[in-house]
Every structure is written in structure tokens, then in C-alpha cells.
Structure 1
Amino acid sequence: MEIISGVERRRQWRAADKLRIVAEAERPGACFVEVARRHEVSRSVLWAWRKQARQGVLVAEPAPMFMPLQVATDPPAPVAQADGTPAVPPAPWSATTCRIEIALPDGTVIRVDEAIGAAALRRVLTALRG
């Protein structure tokens, strides 16, 4: 008998864990029900993960990578874009606002406020890479 006190919450699984469990269930000779039971996942959830993996919806997150950083006190000069059009001038700098500017090798420049969250910045950078 299991006694649950308090509010029961849904379990949060990382994409890597889901893929590992799906791979285990798809091994030759593996029993789908046993894999689900061993990882305390319902069969329907495991089937959904398997379907997502096959459709390419469930994929491992890319490994974080480091990029070179240069700290500048003066705003950079505008640079012409790769297609020859003039670059958008940088936003005005102020002593009271702190901004982060990220210049990518392809000429793309991202300017964000210092208060941006890591998750939001990661989504922006992922969208640019894709």
C-alpha cells in the first residue's frame, strides 16, 4: 500500500533520459512493459516518447559551447552586413543601462538587457543557429 501525503506532482523528465529509456525499450529482446515498469513510467507515456523520437520531435539538447568574449567600454562602430547593405547603428548606450551585445561571426548582432534570463537567451541563440 502506498500512502501519498501532500500534492502529487507530475514527474519532469529530461530529453536525454527519455531518449535513453526509449532506446532501452527498443533493444532486441527488451520487454516494453518491463522497461516502463522499471523506470516507473506508464506504457502510454513511453509509447508517446517513442513516437516523438521517431518523428524527430524528441531530440537531445545540443551541448553548450563557449564563445570568445570581448569586454568593451565604447560602443562598436557599425559594420556593413555581408550583403553590402549598411548595418543598423547600435542602440544608444547609457551609463545607467547595462546591455550585453553578442556579435556572431556571420555579422549577426544581438543586443539584450543585462536582466535577460539564461533560458530566454538560450532560446534566442538556438533560433539563430537553426
Structure 2
Amino acid sequence: MEILDRVRRRRWTRAEKLEIVAAVGVNGEPLSRVAQRYDVTRSQIYQWRHEFKKRGMLPALPAPTSSQVDIGSPSFKAEPAFENWLASPSIVELCLLQGSRLRFDSSSKARP
């Protein structure tokens, strides 16, 4: 007969929990990697984050920023072979920080 020792639950201090929650997103690191690094589950980090938000202990997230982009008309005279190409919508893709991408077609209208 083999007698096994009882498995003990780990206890995290409030400072350790805050450190783990704050590590998510630093230098683009996703939550799953932070969970692996600290050997906790993703759901545990979500739970801690929820508790800290409820208590007002998490710093406010930075407000989203926007930049105006002005895409002027082409500076070349289109030849007949290119007229159909220019008239058809084309896809514009913006590559943002942390790997995000924004795609829209050229027929999109700007809002005032």
C-alpha cells in the first residue's frame, strides 16, 4: 500500500496576483503565455482581474487613440487599360502595433 501526501493548494499574495495580472499585454505578451510562465490557469487570471477591477485596484487602461489619414487622389493620369482597375474597389490594409490589422475596401467613406 502506498500512502500519498496531501496536495496543498498554492496561495498567492495580493502583490503576486497584481504582478501576474499586470504582466498580461506587456510587450504584446498574451494572457496564455503569462499563465504558462506563472503556472496558473487562464481562468484564474481572469478571476483575479475581475476581483481587482471590482475593488478599483487596476489602473485605468489608456484611452484609444486615432490618427487621421488622408489618402489623396492618384498623381498620375490613368490610361484606358487601368480605368477598370481603378474603378473596382480594392482592399486597404493597415498593420497596427501588436500584430493587429485593419482592413477596409477603397469605397469606404470617412465619417465627419
Is the TM value for this pair above 0.5?
no
State which structure, 1 or 2, has the greater radius of gyration over its C-alpha atoms: 2
Query: Shorter-chain TM-score: what band?
Result: 0.3 to 0.5
Structure with greater proportional helix content = 2
